[in-house]
C-alpha cells in the first residue's frame, strides 16, 4: 500500500470506530457466536451479499469470512448490512468489530512497510510472517496486556515510568507465546514465529486500550522510530518447552498519559 492508500484505509477504520460509538453499539462482539438463527453464519451471509452487490469484487476465495478482506469502506459495510435479514444490534456489533479489527491490523502492518528498512512479505496469504526488518522476519501482533496476566498492573506502571526490566519482558513474552501467539498446524501444535508485539498501554489499568487503536499518527511515530533504529537483539528469544522451536520477539508500547493541562497525550517506547 502507498502512503495515501494507508491513510485512506486508516480513515475508514476511524469512521467505523466513530460510528460504533455514536450509535452506542456495544463493542463486545455482540456477545454472540457467528452463527445466525438459520444456521448460516454472519460472515457467510455478509460474503454472499457482497458477492451479489459487487460481483467482480470477490476474486479471492479466502474462506467463509472473505467479505472482510474484500470490503474497503464503512459505506460498503452499511450497504451490505442493509441487505441482511433480521439485522440485530448483536449482528451490527460483530460486523463492525470484524471490520475495525481486521482493517486496523492491515493498516498497522502497512505503516511498517512504509519504512525503508522494511520489506513486505510478497505472499499475501502467508500467515507465517508479515514483513522483514533488515534481515529479520516478523509476524505482527497488535494486542494489550491481558487482564489475566498475573503482574499486569505492576507491569503497566513500570512501562509508563520507564522502569521495565528484561525479566518483566521475558515473563510477558512467555505468557503471550503460550496464550496468544502462533497458529495451529495440522497436528494441532502451534508454529513458533518471530513476533513483534505492538501493545497499547492505556492510562486506566482497567481498560484494554481499544480506544487507542485509531491513534495512527502516534502509532506511526512509534513504528518509524523503531524501524529507523532497529538493531537485532538475539537475547530476546522464546523457546517452546515441548518442541524446542525458537523465535525472536520485540515489544513496542504506545503509552497514554495525561499532561499538566489535563490533556491525554501519547508517548512510546520499545524494547
The pLDDT of residue 64 is 62
**Do residues 227 and 138 both lie within one domain?**
yes
Neighbours of 165 (CB within 10 A): 9
**Do residues 82 and 148 both lie within one domain?**
no
**Do residues 83 and 169 both lie within one domain?**
no
Percent residues over pLDDT 90 in the chain: 65
The phi and psi torsions of 44 (rounded to 5 degrees) equal: -65, -40
Q: Nearest-CA neighbor of 141 among 201, 223, 102, 196?
A: 196
State how far the Cα of 92 lies from the Cα of 80, in Å rounded to an integer. 11
Note whether residue 20 is domain-resident.
Answer: yes
Note whether residue 134 is domain-resident.
Answer: yes
The one-character DSSP state at 236 is S
**Do residues 95 and 132 both lie within one domain?**
no
Tell me the pTM: 0.89
Note whether residue 112 is domain-resident.
Answer: no
**Do residues 183 and 266 both lie within one domain?**
yes
Residue finishing a domain among 64, 80, 103: 103
Sign of CA dihedral 99, 31, 207, 198: negative
**Do residues 43 and 94 both lie within one domain?**
yes
Q: Name the β-bridge partners of 143.
A: 199
The pLDDT of residue 188 is 44
Tens digits of per-residue pLDDT, 100-121?
A: 999 999 999 999 999 999 999 9
DSSP three-state, residue 112: helix
Note whether residue 109 is domain-resident.
Answer: no
**Do residues 50 and 148 both lie within one domain?**
no
The pLDDT of residue 122 is 93
Residue finishing a domain among 49, 79, 103: 103
Domain of 75?
3-103
Is the pLDDT reported for residue 35 higher than 80?
Answer: no
Note whether residue 230 is domain-resident.
Answer: yes
**Do residues 185 and 162 both lie within one domain?**
yes
Note whether residue 108 is domain-resident.
Answer: no
**Do residues 168 and 228 both lie within one domain?**
yes
The pLDDT of residue 266 is 97
Is the pLDDT reported for residue 23 higher than 60?
Answer: yes
State how far the Cα of 167 lies from the Cα of 235, in Å rounded to an integer. 12
Note the residue count of the chain: 271
Tens digits of per-residue pLDDT, 1-16?
A: 899 999 999 999 999 9
pLDDT confidence tier of residue 82, bands split at 50, 70 and 90? very high
Question: Between the ranges 69-73, 86-90, 254-258, where is the mean pLDDT highest?
Answer: 254-258
**Do residues 254 and 151 both lie within one domain?**
yes
**Do residues 88 and 131 both lie within one domain?**
no
How many domains, the chain? Answer: 2
Residue finishing a domain among 103, 138, 172: 103
**Do residues 73 and 18 both lie within one domain?**
yes
Amino acid at each position: 500500500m502507498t502512503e495515501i492508500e494507508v491513510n485512506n484505509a486508516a480513515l475508514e477504520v476511524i469512521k467505523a470506530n466513530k460510528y460504533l460509538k455514536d450509535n452506542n453499539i456495544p463493542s463486545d462482539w455482540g456477545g454472540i457466536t457467528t452463527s445466525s438463527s438459520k444456521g448460516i453464519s454472519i460472515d457467510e451471509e455478509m460474503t454472499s451479499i457482497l458477492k451479489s452487490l459487487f460481483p467482480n469484487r470477490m476474486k479471492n476465495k479466502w474462506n467463509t469470512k472473505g467479505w472482510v478482506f474484500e470490503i474497503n469502506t464503512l459505506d460498503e459495510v452499511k450497504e451490505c448490512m442493509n441487505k441482511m435479514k433480521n439485522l440485530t444490534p448483536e449482528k451490527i456489533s460483530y460486523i463492525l468489530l470484524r471490520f475495525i479489527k481486521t482493517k486496523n491490523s492491515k493498516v498497522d502492518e502497512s505503516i511498517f512497510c512504509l519504512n525503508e528498512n522494511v520489506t513486505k512479505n510478497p505472499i499475501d496469504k502467508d500467515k507465517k510472517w508479515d514483513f522483514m526488518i533488515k534481515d529479520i522476519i516478523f509476524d505482527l501482533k497488535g494486542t494489550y496486556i491481558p487482564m489475566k496476566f498475573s503482574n499486569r498492573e505492576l507491569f503497566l506502571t513500570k512501562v509508563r515510568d520507564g522502569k521495565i526490566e528484561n525479566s518483566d519482558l521475558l515473563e510477558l513474552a512467555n505468557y503471550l507465546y503460550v496464550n496468544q501467539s502462533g497458529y495451529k498446524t495440522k497436528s494441532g501444535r502451534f508454529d513458533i514465529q518471530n513476533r513483534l508485539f505492538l501493545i497499547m498501554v492505556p492510562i486506566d489499568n482497567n481498560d484494554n486500550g481499544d480506544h487507542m487503536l485509531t491513534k495512527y499518527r502516534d502509532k506511526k511515530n512509534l513504528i518509524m522510530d523503531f524501524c529507523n533504529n532497529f538493531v537485532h537483539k538475539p537475547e530476546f528469544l522464546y523457546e517452546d518447552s515441548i518442541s524446542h522451536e525458537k523465535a525472536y520477539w520485540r515489544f513496542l508500547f504506545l503509552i497514554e498519559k495525561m499532561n499538566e493541562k489535563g490533556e491525554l497525550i501519547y508517548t512510546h517506547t520499545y524494547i
